[in-house]
Structure 1
């Protein structure tokens, strides 16, 4: 299935999509593309709020974008790899049988498949700014992301190494 079809299918059943991705075999390049794709989209989602901040506070937009690029595309993937390793260890402690790759795939796919809500959050941050609307959209994104991650992690831990 194309990536966009998989993202739409994840909103109907995240576990099924992760199971299908696992059945394609362990490919670290696929997991890396998923996390880097999320990080690039997350960077793009920040641009409206960075432009708003630069305009309102009289800051240099290029400097703000450079810092966001460094943090989002270079540092954030490393954090997600560590988080996936911690989730793998936690799953093993409670009896999970899956692989570390499965834990990475579940986290990275949950991140990538939640990007439509990340983009919506960025638009709200840029056009409306801080307030209840931004908090509401952020909470929706967080809830959907956790749902996708836990459903995917559950599937990967059923999958024997």
Structure 2
């Protein structure tokens, strides 16, 4: 299935999509594409907010974009790999059966699948700015991300694939 079809299917049933991705076998190149794609979309989502900030404060937009690019594209994937390892160790501690690949897949897919809400959050931050609407969209993204991530962990570590 195409990634976009899998993203929309995740909103209907995240465990089914994770099960399908796990059944395709462990592929680190796929995981790297998921995390880098999610980080690129996160960077794109930050552009409207940074443009608003640059306009209102008189700062140089290119400097703000450069800092965001460095942090999101180069540093965030490393932090996400570390977070995936920590979640893997925690899940194994509470009795989950699976390898570190399962933890990385669950986290990276949750971030990529929730990216449409990240893009919406970026638009609200850029056009409306700090407001209850921005907080609401941010909380919605967080809830959906956690739903996808926890569902993915449950399927990967306790699902019938293992």
What's the TM-score once normalised by structure 1's chain length? 0.98
Matches within 5 A, 1:5-154: 5-154=5-154
- Asked if the contact 1:99–1:156 (Cα under 8 Å) also holds between the matched residues in 2, the reply is no
Unaligned runs of 5+ in 2: none
Q: Report the Cα offset of residue 98 of structure 1.
A: 1.1
Distance across 1 between alignment mates of 2:94 and 2:123: 39
Name the SS of the counterpart of 1:84 in structure 2.
helix
What's the TM-score once normalised by structure 2's chain length? 0.98
Q: Deviations over 1:135-154 (max 9, x none)?
A: 00000000000000000000
Q: Report the Cα offset of residue 113 of structure 1.
A: 0.2
Distance across 1 between alignment mates of 2:40 and 2:131: 25
Q: Deviations over 1:70-114 (max 9, x none)?
A: 000000000100000000000001100011001000000000000
Unaligned runs of 5+ in 1: none
Distance across 1 between alignment mates of 2:105 and 2:139: 23
Distance across 2 between alignment mates of 1:92 and 1:3: 28
Deviating above 6 A after TM superposition, structure 1's stretches of 4 or more consecutive aligned residues are: none
Q: How many pairs are equivalent? A: 160
